[in-house]
């Protein structure tokens, strides 16, 4: 099997950590001797063991009598450079050195300054053969949330909305009017389990009274982010329930009331997307879905502060309504979902 084959397997394993390891990257590890996989592992939970120690443990579990000898003959595949620093866990590069593995094949070098080439240097200095850049583009896109946070000092931003076939986003009369179907709703709940947070504005909170939880998909609820300048959302709103942590950006107060966190900001009419993204970066929030309303989405679009846009387009048309935002991005994929169509755009200009 080729190096590419085993790196792809690393990505398959790494994806099992989606929604559980942020702000760490998703990493998988495959250990091979004579074209046979003898151990696998992935980073399962933030603060717990990384992919490499989990994979090495699986070697000892499956081959208790000769694990040490097998590791000395092994090629270790990992989609991201083994860490070289003490964080919540010991350095993975040191672990590979201790077991005297023969070769290490890496998808991406780690952009984090405490690693960035240092793991590779440790391996090289002890005579371990290192190959890098295998499926590098695929690996970096896979960990795009982590790369964006480290390289741009902000979260990875996903815009999401539904629109009618003739481009309407919401009803003009201020009442909630559902556009997309049940399959689209379930997929949107799945997305919430994959990202750290989801953000809406005051009007969406008042009109739709959303819960912003992942009720229709197994997984964690995202942190709920709300822009409410004057704290006008009524206290009975679903966002104040105890289903998830809620952060309210406002101009009045900074306070913590159980699971509700108020963060005061000055002059919210100026550079609001930039201010919020920097605040989220400081809070180790690595990714956010922006679900509305139209004005909030437009602010992020105008500021070019977005990375990915997911649009559900219904087969139905309305006679009037509020026009959906205009997207200027590169169409990456289109998917049929019953009578709806999902279009995914990537911001190539960011």
Residue 170 CA, chain-centre distance (Å), reads 27
> Is there a binding annotation on residue 291?
yes
Give 337's strand partners. 340
**For residue 178, what pLDDT is reported?**
86
The answer on 173 and 131 residing in a single domain is: no
> Residue 251 catalytic?
no
Residues 210 and 79 in one domain: no
Confidence of residue 243 (pLDDT cuts 50, 70, 90): very high
Strands 223-227 vs 246-250: parallel, antiparallel or unpaired: parallel
Whether residues 167 and 144 fall in one domain: no
In this structure, are 91 and 24 located in the same domain?
A: yes
Q: Which of 95, 113, 148 is the last residue of a domain?
A: 148
Q: What is the pLDDT of residue 350?
A: 58
Range of the domain at 248: 155-346
Tell me if 321 sits within 8 A of 167, measured CB to CB: no
215 is in an annotated binding site: yes
Catalytic member of 52, 194, 195, 308: 52
How many independent structural domains does the chain possess?
A: 2
CATH of the domain at 13: 3.40.140.10
Same domain, 35 and 95: yes
Residue that terminates a domain, selected from 119, 148, 177: 148
What is the average pLDDT across 17-39? 97
83 is in an annotated binding site: yes
Do both 85 and 9 map to the same domain? Answer: yes
Contacts of 160 (CB under 8 A, 6+ apart): 188, 191, 289, 290, 291, 309, 310, 311
Q: Is 208 annotated as a binding residue?
A: yes
Q: Which of 148, 173, 202 is the last residue of a domain?
A: 148
What pLDDT digit, counting tens, does each position of 200-222 carry? 999 999 999 999 999 999 999 99
The total number of residues written for the chain in this structure: 350
């Amino acid at each position: 099997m080729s190096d590419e084959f085993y790196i792809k397997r690393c990505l398959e394993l790494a994806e099992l950590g989606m929604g559980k390891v942020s702000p760490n990257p998703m990493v998988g590890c495959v250990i091979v001797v004579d074209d046979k996989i003898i151990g696998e592992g992935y980073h399962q939970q933030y603060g717990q063991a990384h992919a490499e120690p989990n994979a090495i443990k699986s070697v000892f579990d499956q081959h208790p009598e000769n694990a040490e000898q097998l590791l000395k003959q092994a090629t270790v595949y990992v989609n991201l450079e083994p860490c070289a620093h003490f964080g919540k866990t010991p350095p993975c590069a040191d672990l590979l050195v201790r077991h005297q593995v023969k070769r290490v094949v890496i998808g991406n070098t780690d952009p984090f300054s405490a690693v960035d080439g240092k793991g590779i240097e440790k391996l090289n200095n002890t005579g371990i053969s290192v190959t890098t850049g295998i499926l590098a583009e695929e690996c970096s896109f896979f960990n795009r949330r982590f790369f964006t946070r480290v390289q741009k000092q902000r979260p990875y931003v996903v815009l999401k909305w539904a629109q009618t076939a003739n481009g309407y986003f919401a009803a003009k009369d201020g009442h909630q009017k559902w556009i997309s179907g049940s399959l689209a709703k379930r997929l949107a709940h799945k997305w919430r389990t994959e990202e750290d947070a989801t953000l809406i504005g005051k009007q969406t909170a008042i009109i739709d009274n959303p819960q912003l939880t992942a009720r229709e998909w197994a997984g964690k609820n995202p942190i709920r982010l709300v822009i409410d300048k004057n704290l006008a959302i009524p206290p009975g709103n679903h966002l104040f329930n105890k289903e998830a942590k809620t952060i309210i950006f406002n101009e009045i107060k900074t306070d913590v009331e159980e699971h509700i966190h108020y963060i005061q900001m000055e002059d919210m009419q100026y550079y609001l997307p930039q201010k919020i993204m920097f605040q989220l970066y400081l809070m180790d929030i690595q990714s956010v879905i922006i679900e509305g309303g139209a004005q909030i989405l437009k602010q992020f679009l105008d500021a070019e502060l977005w990375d990915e846009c997911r649009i559900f387009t219904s087969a139905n048309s309305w006679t009037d309504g509020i026009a959906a935002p205009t997207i200027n991005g590169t169409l990456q994929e289109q998917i049929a979902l019953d009578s709806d169509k999902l279009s995914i755009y990537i911001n190539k200009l960011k």
